[in-house]
Every structure is written in structure tokens, then in C-alpha cells.
Amino acid sequence: MVELGKIFVSFFKIGLFTFGGGYAMMPLFRQELIEKRKYITEDELIDYYSIGQCTPGVIAVNVATFTGYKIQKVLGAIVATLAIVLPSLLIIMALAGILNTLSDNQIVAHAFAGIRVGVIALILKEVIVLFKKAVATKFQISLFFVVLFLLFCIHLSAITVVLLAACAGFIKRFGDK
């Protein structure tokens, strides 16, 4: 029960403080789940994102469900999911009436513009940390650059590149055998 409470607080905090969702949430996931609570490892976080990319639904929610399940099975999954969604529910519905006028407000607009720039720095730091961890072998380094090329030049979708990388891993294992 205490554990469930902790799960709830962690994910509520993540839901409350990330703007943009998805990858922008990764620095908070790392701080809260890996560094502070030690619920999951670095590799697990990346794996959840990889799978979350290919399963239906919002990625951040999928990552929350995965982590919750890992800590406390089905009950943990449900609590984590509810907790990450709750700040959105409360904030959007509380502000819905004034939100359209709020985004016209100059000070609010400056603050959000600042946050968008700040989030870029956080994401870039995340890429560096993950690169050191997940791109280790020659095979992984070449995969990284091939995928980067495919994303920037041919504009393949996220799900396509994840599936292609999975095929590459499959073929490599097949060749190694």
C-alpha cells in the first residue's frame, strides 16, 4: 500500500512537470524512476520507449504502465497510469474556459517559449547519456547513424525505424548462430 502511494506520487509529479509529453518526459522519468527510486534500470527505460513506440497509445502513458507493472504487477500498472494522467485531467478541465485567452497572454507566452527552449537542452543531455549507454558495439554505432540518416533524409516514421532496427537485430543474431 505504501509502495502504491509512492508510485502514485512519482508518476503524478512526472505528469505535472513535463510539457510536450513523449520524449520530453524522459529526463523526468530518469530522475524519478532510475536515480531517485531505483525502480528500473537505464536499459529498461529505453526498452519501454522502444516497445511503447510500437504499441498503441500515448508513449508516456505506455512507459508509466510498463514501469508500474514492473514494480507492483497489474495494480501498480493501473496506479501509475492513473497518476500520470491525473494532472492533465485536473489542469485541462480547471483551465478549459480560460485556456484560449491564456495562450494569448504575453507573459504566459514568453514563459512557454522559454520552457520550449529549456526542454531542448534537457533532451540533448538525455541523448548524450543514452548514447553512452545504449550505443556501445560497432553494430549499434552503425545502426544509430543509419537510423539517423533514414529519419532526417527519408523521413521514415518512428514505428518503421523501430521495426527495421528489430529486423537488423534479428538478422545479426541469425548470422551469429
Question: In this chain, which of 33, 39, 40, 52 binds another protein, going by CB under 8 A?
Answer: 52
User: What are the backbone angles phi and psi of residue 19, rounded to the nearest 5°?
Assistant: -110, 130
With CA atoms as reference, report the closest residue to 115 among 23, 19, 15: 19
Tell me the closest approach of the beta carbon of residue 94 to another protein, in angstroms: 10
Site residues for another protein, window 58-97 (CB under 8 A)? Answer: 58-62, 65-66, 69-70, 74, 77-78, 81, 84-85, 87-89, 91-93, 95-96
User: CA–CA separation, 83 vs 64, rounded Å?
Assistant: 9
Binding mask of the shown chain, residues 108 to 127, with x at each position contacting another protein by CB under 8 A: --xxxxxxxxxxxxxxxxxx
Question: In this chain, which of 3, 5, 105, 148 binds another protein, going by CB under 8 A?
Answer: 148
Residue with cell 510536450: 20
Choose between 5 and 169: whose C-beta lies nearer to another protein: 169
With CA atoms as reference, report the closest residue to 11 among 73, 78, 57: 78
Site residues for another protein, window 4-43 (CB under 8 A)? Answer: 13, 15-28, 31, 43
With CA atoms as reference, report the closest residue to 18 among 61, 56, 49, 55: 61
